[in-house]
Amino acid sequence: MDIRHIVDGFAAAPQLEASEMAEAAAQGFRTILCNRPDGEQAGQPDAAEMEAAARAAGMEFRYLPVFPGAFPDDLIAGMQDALAECEQPILAYCRSGTRSTMLWALAEADKRPVAEIVEAGNRGGYDLQSLVPFLTARS
């Protein structure tokens, strides 16, 4: 697994496999967030399979699919709810981890300074500079 720690309590990763859920739990993760829409690519595990594996490993699971380039307000609110309600640390994934990190950033825009959000993304290897106008508008 290519887990990238963004901030305390939240990490992002490229596509995970059901067989990796026990390892994620062993690393201390308590919640898995799937941000990848089902059927985006042939052969990817669907959310139901990932949820079953996460729950079997003792973790909570939430499905918040992010379609490329689409971050509607209800999705951002869903991420805010997940960040507030789910047991941490949280591991979110999508195809590369970028959408998961962008969704986290948008959900945190009213809680953290924009520069801090961008730096957190950078530390994880995700460039959030293109989000600055959206983060600023949400702050």
Tokens standing for residue 29: 């993760």
pLDDT over 90 at 69, yes or no: no
User: How many CB atoms sit inside 10 A of residue 10's CB?
Assistant: 22
Instruction: Quote the CA–CA distance of 111 and 18 in Å, as a whole number.
Output: 32
54: pLDDT confidence band, cut at 50, 70 and 90? Answer: very high
Model pLDDT, residue 27: 96
Model pLDDT, residue 43: 85
106: pLDDT confidence band, cut at 50, 70 and 90? Answer: very high
Q: Give the CB-side neighbour count of residue 134, counting CA atoms within 13 A.
A: 19
pLDDT over 90 at 40, yes or no: no
What is the rounded radius of gyration, in angstroms, for the C-alpha atoms of the chain?
A: 14
